[in-house]
Amino acid sequence: MKRSELVADTAITLLAERGMRGLTHRAVDEAAGLPPGSTSNLARTRAALLELTLSRLTELEMRALGPAYTTAKNGAQAGAQAGAQAGAQAGAQAGMADRVAEGLHIQINDRRRTLARYELALEATRRPELREIYDAAGSRFRDPAVALLAAQGSRDPVRHARRLVAFSEGLMFDAIVGAGGTPTFEELRQAIEDFLAGMLGRPSRGL
């Protein structure tokens, strides 16, 4: 593992365990077992350390969620191309719900990574330079949603993608920090499918 990855991975853990105040250059050195000053040599300022951490977090999330997005996109496109067949769109919608739920399930069950992202999201509201990076990273998740919904035949895929992302984020936030408990994969799949059915005006499979 590269030292930059070790530093960033350690920073992610510290953010999840101690919050933003617990993330310091010295804390990263100690937790990673590095000589004093190692993190400062790699990321001189706090802003640089946060940017390094956010970039690594985005990389890890894309690696974990990439297969789900790819499978969903391929399934949705195949369903749209076979639109003349009875039930093709409904099947594609169900497949998309499965894959989105899979991505949410991965995020919810990796509390360390997701808690760190929430810490960085809040910090980005106070740091314009981090906000720019955070927004750019977020587009890597929003853009596939637009493509997925366009393949589903959405008349306004950009607007619908924003709603889907917002709904998914709400489910994830409630599961991580809310009082509703941790949902099962099936509960997530049904919630997403119900949402898609209402938004796209199609029936849902139901439980």
Please give the backbone phi and psi of residue 89, each rounded to the nearest 5 degrees, phi first: -65, -40
- 94 touches 193 (CB < 8 A): yes
The answer as to whether 76 is a domain residue is yes
Classify residue 187 by burial, with Cβ atoms within 10 Å: 0-12, 13-18, 19+: middle
Q: For the chain, which residues score pLDDT lower than 70?
A: 66-92, 203-207
In angstroms, the CA 12 to CA 19 distance is 10
Query: Can you give the pLDDT at residue 201?
Result: 80
Query: Can you give the pLDDT at residue 89?
Result: 57
Q: What is the CATH number of the domain that holds 68?
A: 1.10.357
The answer as to whether 81 is a domain residue is yes
In angstroms, the CA 160 to CA 199 distance is 7
Q: pTM for the complete prediction?
A: 0.81
- 20 touches 123 (CB < 8 A): yes
The answer as to whether 179 is a domain residue is yes
Per the structure, the count of domains in the chain is 1
Please name which of 79, 96, 97, 101 lies closest in space to residue 88, comparing C-alpha atoms. 79
The answer as to whether 7 is a domain residue is no
The answer as to whether 146 is a domain residue is yes
The answer as to whether 177 is a domain residue is yes
The answer as to whether 24 is a domain residue is no
Query: Can you give the pLDDT at residue 86?
Result: 38
Instruction: State the residue range of the domain holding 61.
Output: 56-200
The answer as to whether 33 is a domain residue is no
